[in-house]
Amino acid sequence: MKAFVVEKYGKDGLRAATVPEPTVGDRDVLVRVSATAINPLDKMVRNGEFKQLLKYKRPFVLGHDVAGVVTRVGSAVRDFKVGDEVYARPRDLRIGGFAELIAIDQDDVAPKPASLTLEEAAAVPLVALAAWQILVDRARVQPGQKVLVHAGAGGLGSTVIQLAKHLGATVATTASASTEELVRSLGADIVVDYKKDDFSTVLSAGYDLVVDSLGGTNLEKSLTVLKPGGLAIGVAGPPDAGFAQQLGAPSVMGVVLKVLSRKIRKRAKALGVRYEFFFMQANGSQLRELGALYDSGKLRPVIDRTFPFDQTIEAMEYVEQGRTKAGKVVVSVSSQG
């Protein structure tokens, strides 16, 4: 089958290849991929940023989002059958959305939201799961709380805005003037034009949660708008010891990551707030809950552009070069469904 594989770590490490069809285990669902999507995580994995924690055996197929049609099920699978339209974020070490076929553990799969096309559904799994796990599982956002979402027009930001609003939060976001109308339509109450204004001076302190996907000085400034005890969650790093524990890494890696995140944790402690790194996990049952929110109109995918499968590398470059105006970049793999 055709696929795009990481042959070596680095910017030029992704290439088109012909690889064997995946083996289907007892608990697996074999999916003919209709569409996939590009995520910043794809670049990070391709570049080997997590190679000490996620030990992929090269060459491996890249791709963290999948929407497609079930073509085979393992002997222990009961909830899916051939012909079902599904979507998933396959678990770490079993990714592979940039391919014609992928075998996915049944626990990571959910029925595709009926209201979405397969291409729309491909834009959803990773960012929707991340938004749910940040807002519901980690921060436990309650009605009336204040949430700041950076890069609100992005794939993750646009989803976090919608879910935070659904949960009853007051939502502020940073965006450009060209995407202000979009982020307001998604539910943002306050929009700061990051090209003109410094959010840390425009926004008053008192935010319960900041979701930061930019890192660096942006993350440091984010700490200053939190109320005492507030939480800043970073998806761009620096990773902390909790990340190593989540991946079941040796304790020495936890020590290393604790050192890497020491500066930002120390700054947070001095301000009386908290910092945590976030790395999402595959979860089919959560995708079922999220699917209901898409079907009810509470959430909607935002798609910037769709590329054909043979231009997957160009799609990666498009995202890396910062050419995305809003939402996700989707790759159409097959015309099935």
* Same domain flag for 135 and 272: yes
* Same domain flag for 142 and 117: no
* Same domain flag for 258 and 309: no
Residue 196 belongs to some domain of the structure: yes
Residue 285 belongs to some domain of the structure: no
* Same domain flag for 186 and 58: no
Residue 143 belongs to some domain of the structure: yes
pTM score, two decimals? 0.96
User: Using one digit for the tens of pLDDT, what is the confidence trace for 176-214?
Assistant: 999 999 999 999 999 999 999 999 999 988 999 999 999
DSSP-derived pairing of the beta strands 146-149 and 207-212: parallel
* Same domain flag for 131 and 255: yes
* Same domain flag for 159 and 72: no
CATH code of 205's domain: 3.40.50.720
CATH code of 47's domain: 3.90.180.10
- Total number of domains constituting the chain: 2
Residue 63 belongs to some domain of the structure: yes
Residue 284 belongs to some domain of the structure: no
Task: Say how far residue 226 (Cα) sits from the centre of its chain.
Answer: 24
Residue 296 belongs to some domain of the structure: no
* Same domain flag for 148 and 115: no
d(CA 53, CA 252): 11
* Same domain flag for 323 and 273: no
* Same domain flag for 131 and 217: yes
d(CA 87, CA 81): 14
- Torsion angle of C-alpha atoms 9, 39, 174, 185, degrees rounded to 10: 170
State which residues form the domain around 134. 127-277
Taking CA 321 as the corner, what is the angle to CA 316 and CA 324, rounded to the nearest 5 degrees? 80
Spatial neighbors of 197 by CB under 8 A, at least 6 apart, are none
Task: Say how far residue 164 (Cα) sits from the centre of its chain.
Answer: 16
Residue 84 belongs to some domain of the structure: yes
DSSP-derived pairing of the beta strands 274-277 and 303-308: unpaired
* Same domain flag for 182 and 105: no
* Same domain flag for 145 and 241: yes
Residue that finishes a domain, picked among 277, 293, 319: 277
* Same domain flag for 265 and 181: yes
Q: Which residues of the chain have pLDDT under 70?
A: 335-337
Provide the pLDDT for residue 337.
Answer: 37
Residue 294 belongs to some domain of the structure: no
Provide the pLDDT for residue 335.
Answer: 52
